[in-house]
């Protein structure tokens, strides 16, 4: 198997496991919101923890992250470094604003070599902080998000007092479409949130966009791939169930599918494309989800982070209080960025679309992923406005 596809397949499956569990968790809490996570960035942070671990903790992380797919640790670190560089260092128009942090309480000492590896290969800062009080943690999170994402508002729940370690992974992806939409063709269309809820929302229209498209008959869905202006072929893959209420069923089927396989089935077509403009600012705790997925050892007193802490440390046990995750995405005519194009005042446009040609009409809940052949950087769904 192609190593790139193997890695991407793992990230897709790993991400969908987190994703579907989050959906169930949010539904149980009565929250049916738009959602986005970064499988790649969460995996990278956990892989870095593996390099800082020892004993059973290392064995568990290696198994759960399937790190045996890499010949050695150096190859593994290079894989993450290369794919982080692909999305952070290519051009001024392509930028992943990210904040990846490993905080440990000031009673511990960090291993200097681990700190160097964390920053060089994983763009992660491992640092000592006063984590003893929840108020200190709250201020710390707000400062980090303000510095990197220019966002200080957060509803992330801080662990209780006497926290020993905390992980934070936050990201904001910005990029321009290779084929931008015309702001002057945007207008108000009906979005079918559910069978009894229809909202008129701003949507983007292109009658003849030449992009990759496929009918996924076995999934009762269709997919389109919108390329970004990027040397590494990063694109947004959008998958739309044919049934307006079919997203939950589609996402269950996606757990058995490699997204690369879907991309390989696509052909360049002239597509009549209708897509909502949307913003997602999603944040969550991943602790409960990761415990369900077999990572519970990270959060217990039996955790062993011998290679993360300095040799002088009295104990190698460093239970992680939580893994906090935040992702922001703004999709509009220009791409995934703050819009610089002033659209005319939206007007209600006819919903008539010529069904004789290929069409992708995202007027009901849909799934999306931002990826290239090597990595699935983000995945999410849009379900309401």
Domain-embedded: residue 7: no
d(CA 15, CA 380): 10
Note down the domain range covering 258: 183-276+339-382
- Burial category of 289 from C-beta neighbours within 10 Å (exposed 0-12, middle 13-18, buried 19 and up): buried
Same domain, 114 and 217: no
Q: Are 170 and 327 spatial neighbours (Cβ–Cβ below 8 Å)? A: yes
Same domain? For 169 and 312 the reply is yes
Rounded Cα–Cα distance for residues 313 and 310 (Å): 6
Structure confidence by residue, pLDDT tens digits, 252-264: 899 888 888 899 9
Tell me whether residue 1 is in a domain: no
Asked whether residue 294 falls in the same domain as residue 266, the answer is no
Provide the 8-state DSSP code for 70.
S
In the prediction, which pLDDT does 91 show? 62
The pLDDT confidence band at residue 2, using thresholds 50, 70 and 90, is: low
pTM of this prediction? 0.90
Task: Express each pLDDT in 301-312 by its tens digit.
Answer: 999 999 999 988
Tell how far CA 312 is from the center of its chain.
Answer: 37
Question: CA–CA separation, 113 vs 103, rounded Å?
Answer: 16
Asked if the structure places residue 29 within a domain, the reply is yes
The reply to whether 270 falls in a domain is yes
Give the CATH number for residue 47: 3.30.497.10
Contact predicate 383/33, CB 8 Å: yes
Q: How far apart are CA 10 and CA 235, in angstroms?
A: 19
How far from 304 is each of 56, 191, 212, CA to CA, in Å? 8, 50, 47
The tally of CA atoms less than 13 A away on the side-chain side of residue 142 is: 10
Least confident segment among 81-85, 161-165, 179-183, 286-290: 161-165
Residues 164 and 204 placed together within one structural domain of the fold = no
Q: Is residue 334 part of a domain?
A: no
The answer to whether 22 and 35 have CB atoms below 8 angstroms apart is yes
Q: Which helix (H) or strand (E) segment is 271 a member of?
A: strand 267-276
Write the pLDDT tens digit of every residue in 41-67. 999 999 999 999 999 999 999 999 999
CB within 8 A of 226, min separation 6: which ones? 177, 178, 179, 211, 235, 236, 238
Asked whether residue 351 carries a pLDDT value surpassing 70, the answer given is no
Q: Which residues pair with 369 in a beta bridge?
A: 237, 379
Tokens of 83: 């794919």
Work out the pLDDT band at 341, boundaries 50, 70, 90: very low
Verify that 168 and 227 share a domain, yes or no: no
Q: Confirm whether 235 is domain-assigned.
A: yes
Q: Is residue 227 domain-resident?
A: yes
The kind and range of the H/E element at 349 are none
Q: How far apart are CA 279 and CA 284, in angstroms?
A: 17
Q: What is the residue-averaged pLDDT of the chain?
A: 88
Residue 348 predicted with pLDDT over 70: no
Domain count, the chain: 2
Instruction: Pull the structure tokens for residue 221.
Output: 């869905």
Structure tokens at 249: 């069923």
- Region at 202 (left for phi over 0; alpha for psi -120 to 50; beta for the rest): beta
When pLDDT is averaged across residues 226-241 and rounded to a whole number, the result is 89
Residues 196 and 289 reside in one and the same domain? no
> Is 4 part of a structural domain of the chain?
no
Decide: helix, strand or coil at residue 363.
coil
């Amino acid at each position: 198997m192609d190593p790139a596809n193997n890695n991407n397949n793992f990230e897709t499956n790993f991400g969908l496991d987190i994703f579907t569990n989050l959906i169930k968790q949010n539904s149980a809490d009565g929250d049916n919101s738009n959602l986005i996570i970064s499988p790649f960035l969460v995996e990278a942070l956990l892989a870095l923890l593996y390099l800082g671990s020892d004993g059973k903790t290392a064995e568990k992380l290696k198994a759960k992250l399937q790190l045996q797919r890499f010949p050695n640790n150096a190859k593994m670190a290079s894989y993450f470094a290369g794919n982080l560089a692909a999305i952070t260092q290519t051009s001024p128009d392509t930028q992943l604003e990210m904040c990846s942090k490993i905080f440990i309480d000031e009673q511990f000492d960090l291993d200097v070599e681990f700190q160097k590896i964390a920053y060089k290969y994983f763009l992660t800062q491992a640092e000592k902080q006063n984590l003893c009080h929840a108020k200190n943690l709250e201020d710390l999170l707000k400062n980090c998000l303000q510095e990197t994402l220019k966002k200080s508002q957060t509803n992330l729940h801080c662990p209780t007092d006497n926290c020993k370690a905390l992980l934070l992974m936050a990201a904001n992806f910005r990029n321009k479409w290779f084929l931008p939409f015309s702001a002057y063709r945007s207008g108000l269309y009906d979005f079918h949130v559910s069978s009894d809820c229809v909202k008129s929302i701003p949507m983007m229209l292109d009658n003849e966009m030449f992009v990759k498209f496929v009918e996924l008959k076995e999934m009762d869905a269709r997919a389109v791939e919108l390329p970004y202006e990027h040397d590494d072929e990063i694109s947004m893959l959008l998958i739309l169930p044919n049934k307006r209420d079919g997203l939950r069923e589609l996402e269950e089927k996606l757990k058995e599918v490699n997204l690369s396989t879907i991309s390989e089935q696509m052909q360049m077509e002239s597509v009549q494309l209708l897509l909502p403009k949307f913003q997602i600012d999603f944040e969550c705790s991943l602790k409960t989800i990761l415990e369900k997925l077999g990572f519970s050892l990270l959060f217990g007193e039996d955790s062993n982070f011998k290679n993360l802490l300095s040799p002088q440390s009295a104990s190698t046990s460093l239970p992680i209080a939580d893994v906090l995750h935040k992702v922001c995405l703004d999709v509009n005519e220009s791409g995934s960025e703050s819009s610089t194009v002033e659209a005319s005042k939206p007007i209600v446009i006819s919903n008539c679309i010529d069904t004789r040609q290929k069409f992708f009409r995202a007027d009901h809940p849909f799934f999306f992923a931002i990826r290239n052949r090597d990595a699935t950087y983000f995945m999410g769904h849009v379900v309401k406005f």
